[in-house]
Amino acid sequence: MKPSVWTLVFGAWLIAAIATLGALFMSDIMGFAPCVLCWYQRIFMFPLVFVLAAGLFPFDPRVMRYALPLASVGLLVAGFHLLLVAGVIPESLTPCRQGILCSTVQVEWLSFVTIPLLSFFAFLVINALLIVAYLKTPP
Amino acid sequence: MKQKNIFIAASMLLIAAFALGTFFYKNQQTQQAEKLAVQNQAALVRADSPSFGNPDAPVHIVEFFDPACGTCREFYPLVKNLMAAHPGKIRLTMRYAPFHPGSDQVVKVMEAAHKQGKFQPTLEALFASQAVWVQNHTAQLDLIWSPLASLGLDMERIKSDMNSPEIARTIEQDLADAKTMNVTMTPEYFVNGRPLPSFGFEQLKALVDEALVNTNTK
């Protein structure tokens, strides 16, 4: 059985909610200071939890249109951040000069999972789910 | 209906996971801090740190403080009351943690006053006049002299002592010890070597009460 459009949007919401709580856990409980780029990613991730939830009850097929601008720009910021950590883009081109440098790796699980990677992956899956849901919806 | 239940269940699960994670993480942090404190007792007390109360008191509070810190100012009378409520039972040792910009100069003056046996009046005068000499979270050395004028300090000696290498070493030692004890905010209290599980006067009082009970039963 193919997943319904509702299930796809619900999946996107679930990932956004996990990413939001995870980000809050790392900054407020574990005490990692978010760098400037992390704040931009948060700006695009946190509203998704509410926008997607509002679109689920009652289901509004236009929720993809409202969520995709947030999700896609978030993906761009996360991708930029990932390239920065990888050293592809030099730090001097970034907006972060004070506080935590965005190229600082604060967490590395299993020797490759960093916070920007988690963010990028979350945005990537949310975008994929929303695009599939959008394409599956009859015009 | 089914969809709504899935959504509610998922939301509750996420919130529960967050709360549990917070609980376990904080617990683990507290245990680590206690272990750190036990391993580094030597860093907690230095012989010549300013200290009030009965030197042989069973309960020893060590406070890392910054004279420019507002919360330190507000906690000071509370701790003093706590000591007054248990006469002879509590000793308070003050360690410098000048984290505010400019504070490093002010604590040098305090240490120089300590050499003249006037640490406590200096501390109290500085706390009382904090609004005057701390501006925009920055300590202004030139504004502390008039609040200190009436204490009978030998100002000439203060001004030469405060730049002595000996006092610089004391402050450096306190800052190094603060780092060892993982003190990143002021005030930070240790009661008989144990850190507060979380910040607050109630938590401090609970630790002190516990230590008092322990010494009474011994």
Taking the domains of chain B in order of start, what are their residue ranges? 2-39, 42-217
Instruction: Answer yes or no: are the C-beta atoms of B100 and B138 closer than 8 Å.
Output: yes
pTM of the model: 0.65
Q: How far is CA A64 from CA A71, A80, B3, B68, B111, in A?
A: 10, 24, 18, 52, 65
Task: Tell me the sheet residues that pair with B134.
Answer: B139
Best B4, B13, B18 member to test A by mutation, with max A CBs in 10 Å, is: B18
Q: Please report the pLDDT score of residue A23 as a whole number.
A: 92
Average of per-residue pLDDT across B54-69 = 89
Q: Give the span between the Cα atoms of A9 and B123, in whole angstroms.
A: 61
Average confidence score pLDDT of chain B: 87
Average of per-residue pLDDT across B28-48 = 80
**pLDDT above 80 (res A110):** no
DSSP type of residue A33: P
Residue A23 corresponds to which tokens in the numbers above? 């980000």
Q: Closest chain B residue to A30 measured between Cα atoms?
A: B25
A18-22, B83-87, B148-152 — most confident range = A18-22
Best A5, A21, A28, A63 member to test B by mutation, with max B CBs in 10 Å, is: A21
The structural domains of chain A, ordered by start, are 5-136 (1.20.1550)
Spell out the alpha helix ranges (H) of chain B.
Answer: 2-39, 41-44, 70-85, 103-115, 119-128, 130-133, 145-148, 155-161, 165-180, 201-217
Q: Please report the pLDDT score of residue A96 as a whole number.
A: 46
Residue A90 vs residue B57, higher pLDDT: B57
- Chain A residues lying within 8 Å of B1, measured CB to CB: none
Best B22, B185, B198 member to test A by mutation, with max A CBs in 10 Å, is: B22
Instruction: Answer yes or no: are the C-beta atoms of B15 and A18 closer than 8 Å.
Output: no
Q: Does A53 touch chain B (CB under 8 A)?
A: yes
Name the strand (E) or helix (H) holding A62: none
Average confidence score pLDDT of chain A: 84
Q: How far is CA B98 from CA A100, B176, B215, in A?
A: 22, 12, 33
Average of per-residue pLDDT across A103-132 = 83
Q: What is the DSSP string of B181-196?
A: TT--SSSEEEETTEEP
Q: Please report the pLDDT score of residue A129 as a whole number.
A: 94
Instruction: Find how far residue A111's CA is from the centre of its chain.
Output: 21
Q: Which of B107, B102, B116, B119 is nearest to B155 (CA)?
A: B116
Average of per-residue pLDDT across B103-110 = 90
Q: Closest chain A residue to B20 measured between Cα atoms?
A: A25
- Chain B residues lying within 8 Å of A59, measured CB to CB: 3
Q: pLDDT digits over A68-108, tens only?
A: 999 999 999 999 988 887 777 765 554 444 455 666 666 67
Q: Which of A138, A122, A20 is nearest to B18 (CA)?
A: A20
Q: Residue A47: phi, psi to the nearest 5?
A: -65, -25
For domain B42-217, which CATH number applies: 2.60.40.10, 3.40.30.10, 3.40.50.970, 2.40.420.20?
A: 3.40.30.10
Q: With bands split at pLDDT 50, 70 and 90, how would you rate the model's confidence at A41?
A: very high
Torsion sign across C-alpha atoms A93, A95, A98, A100: negative
Q: pLDDT digits over B180-204, tens only?
A: 888 888 888 998 888 888 888 888 8
Q: Does B13 touch chain A (CB under 8 A)?
A: no
Strands B90-96 and B188-191: unpaired
Q: Give the span between the Cα atoms of B165 and B171, in whole angstroms.
A: 10
Q: Give the span between the Cα atoms of B147 and B159, in whole angstroms.
A: 15
**pLDDT above 90 (res A47):** yes
